[in-house]
Amino acid sequence: MLKCHLMAYKFCAFLLLISCIACINPKIRHTASSGAFFHSMSIKFNYSDSQAKQNGRFHMRFDERNAKFILFNPLNHVALQLQVAGEKALLSRPGQKLYWRGDFSLLLDRLWGIELTVAELKEIILSGALPQAKIREKGMVVDLEHNPDSQVPQTIKIRQNHAELILKILKNETRPGNIILLERLPGYKKAELEGILDHD
């Protein structure tokens, strides 16, 4: 009889504890309820100019303020990592632990011969909105092939001077959260942009 009373007391205490916990204001942050989200894309690229050809793929994640890129080599290893805050880029080569800081448009021009800011590139990829003034000023030609279901760009072809860059969007998703950037790269050495891009 005493054992039954003891079990009933423990059960009542447990219910009281659950009730108290339910009244406590939770402190867990839910990024989805705050409306924060970022885009996650997988993109195949083909580049050619009068001297060379390149092809490969990269992952791109970005929100309203920040962006991250991961470029893979033909063996599917990470070749370069890039993060962009506004238009300020931090490029790194993990294999050699080298990094470079500078303007995103300078990097894109050196890498693929295309003069676009990261904001302009995001607009083209997301909605097909073209920076008409920039296109006229730089003598660029941009052709878009839209997804027939969603009407967002599926293939983007950009030509400037002797350079041609073709981007094919393989995956386009929206996820809850924000893009968080690293402020420092411990153990990495600063290098010139040419040294990072042309490093063997």
Q: Where are the alpha helices (DSSP H) in the chain?
A: 2-23, 104-112, 118-127, 132-138, 193-197
Residue 9: count of CB within 10 angstroms of its CB: 10
Average pLDDT, the chain: 84
Residue-wise pLDDT tens digits, 25-53: 333 233 443 579 999 999 999 999 988 89
Check residues 14 and 81 and name the one with the higher pLDDT.
81
pLDDT classification of 198: cutoffs 50, 70, 90: confident
pTM listed for this prediction: 0.78
Q: Taking residues 74-88, what's their average pLDDT? A: 93
Q: What is the pLDDT of residue 149?
A: 82
| Cα 85 to Cα 143: distance, rounded to the nearest angstrom | 28
CA nearest to 118, candidates 128, 103, 130, 132: 103
